[in-house]
Amino acid sequence: MTLRGTTVPHAAGFVAGDRPRIVTAHFDDPEAHRLSRYEELGGYQGLRKALDSTPAEVHSVIRDATVLGRGGAGFPAGVKWGFCPEGVWPRYLVVNGDESEPGTYKDRLLMELDPHQLIEGALIACYAVGLTQCFLYVRGEMALAQERIATALNEAYAAGYVGRNIMGTDFSVDVVLHWGAGAYVVGEETALIESLEGKRGMPRLKPPYFPAAIGLYGQPTIVNNVETLSNMPWIMNHGAEAYRAIGTESSPGTRMVAVSGHVKRPGVYEIVNGSTTFRDLIYGEDMCGGIREDRELKAFVPGGGSAPWFLPEQLDIPFEGRQASAAGSMLGSGAVIVMDETTDIPRAALSLTHFYAHESCGKCTPCREGGTWLERIMTRIVDGYGTERDLQLLTEVGQSICPGAFPHAADSSRGLEAVPFPYRMNTICFVGPSAYAPVNSALTLFPEEFEARVRRDEGVPVAAPGRESRV
C-alpha cells in the first residue's frame, strides 16, 4: 500500500463486459478527468449540440429519452424539469453528490473519474430549463472527488465552458462547488437545500413535494443526482432514440450498480436497464461470477440499505421498478449487497439499523426515538441478552414508525406471500422506515435465527466480553 495524498488509484472494480457503456465510457482512461483528454474523447460536444438548439428542443430530447432519476426515487428527469412554475426567476440547479446510502458506490466514481462529463450534463440542464446558477454539492468525506471537481471547474472556466458567455453564446451560468460535512440525511433533497442554505440538514415538511416549486431560497430548484446528469452529454450526442434503444420501454438506457459483499468479483457495473436480472448481475460470468467459494446465496439487499431484502427466489426479477415493487422492495440507488450462507442475519440487520438510527436528524419522534429503540433491542438480541418479548417489541416499535403491513419478499418455502412496496410512514422522510426495513426483512424471512438467539440455543454466538456490538 503506497501513501499518496491525492493520487490513490482505485482498486479495479469494473469488469468491462460486452455491454453498452454510457456514463462509464471513459472509466478505463486514467486521464479522462483532465480537460484536454476529455476534449479528445469528444467532450463538451453534447453541450455544443444543445447550444445549437433552443432550450425547449433540448428539454424535449431529454423528456423523450426518459432518464429515470438515479438518486433513489426513479422519477423521470425531463418531467421533473417541467415542474418549475412559470414566471418565477431565478431558478437554480443543485447537483446531489452526497452519496452515502449503505452499499452505494457510483456517484463518487463519476465525480473522480469523469468530472467534466458531470459538469457538461449539469450545463445542459441549466440551458434547457433556464437555471442561472448551479451548486454542485459533493459529500464532505470525499476529498479526492472534491479535488477532481475543483480542478475540472478551474479548467472549464479557463476554457470558456463554464461562467459568462459559455462557448461564445449568451448562455451564462456559474457552477459552484459546495461540499458537505458528514450527514447521511443531507442526501434527501430538501435537507440538501437546507444544508446549502447554511443550516442543519433536516428535511423539510412536504408538500410541496418537489423543490422545483419551492426550493433553494424559496425559488424553483431542480435537484438531480450525479449519475442522472452524467447521462445528458451522451443523450445530446446520440439522441433520445438511441438512448431508448437500450434497455426497456419503462426503464431505458443503462444504470450503474455496485455489487458488494460475498461475491467473487465485487464491483461497479454499468448494466442494461430494465432487462438485466439480479441473477445476471450476481452470477453472470461477465459480472460478479457467483458467490465466493461457490457457497449458497442466503439473501441480498437489492437497492441500498433502505431496501427490504430479497431471497434467492427473487433472483430472476429484472432491474425494473414496477416488478421490484410488486416483489416487495425497490431498486433505490443501485446498490446490491450480497450475503452468503455463512451470514449472521441478525448481526447484518443490526449493522444497517445502527446506521439509520445514528443518522436520524431528530426532527420527528418516531424516527428519533424508534430508531434508537430498534438499535438497542437488536443489540441485546445479537449480543445474547435478548428475550422472547423483545421480538414482539421490535414489531411494535416498527409499527409506530411505519404502520400497516411492511413490504417484504415472498418466501414460498414457508407459504409467505410478498407485500408490495411502498409502506405507509409516520415520518417526514425515509430514514425512519429505513431503520426498520432491515429488522423487518430479517425477522420476517429468518425468524428462526432470532428465536434461536433469544432461546440461547447451543452454538448460537454470544458476544465475548470486549467484543460486544459497536453501537
Residues that bind ligand SF4 (CB under 6 A): 185, 202-203, 360-364, 367-368, 427-429, 431-432
Residue type, 339: M
Strands (E), 62-172: 91-97, 131-138
Residues 100-159 that bind other proteins (CB under 8 A): 100-105, 107-108, 127, 130, 132-133, 139-144, 146-151, 153-154, 157-158
Give the shortest CB-446-to-other proteins separation in angstroms.
15
368 binds, among ligand SF4, other proteins, ligand FMN, none (CB under 5 to 8 A by kind): ligand SF4
Residue type, 442: A
Q: Is 360 in the site for ligand FMN (CB under 6 A)?
A: no
What whole-number distance in Å separates Cα of residue 156 and Cα of residue 152?
Answer: 6
Q: Is 96 in the site for ligand FMN (CB under 6 A)?
A: yes
Q: Is 189 in the site for ligand FMN (CB under 6 A)?
A: yes
- Cα atoms in the 13 Å half-sphere on the side-chain side of 353: 32
3-state secondary structure of 416: strand
Which residue in 103, 115, 121, 187 binds ligand FMN (CB under 6 A)? Answer: 187
What whole-number distance in Å separates Cα of residue 98 and Cα of residue 188?
Answer: 9
Rg (CA), the chain: 23
List the x/- string, 431-470, binding to other proteins by CB under 8 A: ------------------------------------x--x
Paired residues of 134 in beta bridges: 93, 175
Q: Is 195 in the site for ligand FMN (CB under 6 A)?
A: no
Q: Is 295 in the site for other proteins (CB under 8 A)?
A: no
Cβ proximity to ligand FMN: between 402 and 429 the closer is: 429
Q: Is 224 in the site for ligand FMN (CB under 6 A)?
A: yes
Dihedral over Cα of 394, 400, 404, 410: its sign: negative
Residue type, 465: P
Query: How would you classify the pairing of strands 254-261 and 221-225?
Result: unpaired
List the x/- string, 196-225, binding to other proteins by CB under 8 A: xxxxxx--------------xxxx------
What whole-number distance in Å separates Cα of residue 454 and Cα of residue 461?
Answer: 11
Which residue in 26, 70, 204, 262 binds other proteins (CB under 8 A)? Answer: 262
What whole-number distance in Å separates Cα of residue 257 and Cα of residue 166?
Answer: 34
Residues 299-338 that bind other proteins (CB under 8 A): 301, 305, 335, 337
Q: Is 75 in the site for ligand FMN (CB under 6 A)?
A: yes
181 binds, among ligand SF4, ligand FMN, other proteins, none (CB under 5 to 8 A by kind): other proteins
| Nearest Cα to Cα of residue 29 among 5, 10, 47 | 10
Q: Which stretch binds other proteins (CB under 8 A): 115-123, 358-366, 401-409, 428-436?
A: 358-366
Residues 175-194 that bind other proteins (CB under 8 A): 176-184
Q: Is 415 in the site for other proteins (CB under 8 A)?
A: no
- Cα atoms in the 13 Å half-sphere on the side-chain side of 410: 14
What whole-number distance in Å separates Cα of residue 113 and Cα of residue 91?
Answer: 29
**Residue showing cell 430479497:** 310
C-beta of residue 401 within 8 angstroms of C-beta of residue 426: yes
Could you list the residues that contact ligand FMN (CB under 6 A)? 69-73, 75, 77, 96, 98-101, 185, 187-189, 223-225, 228, 429-431
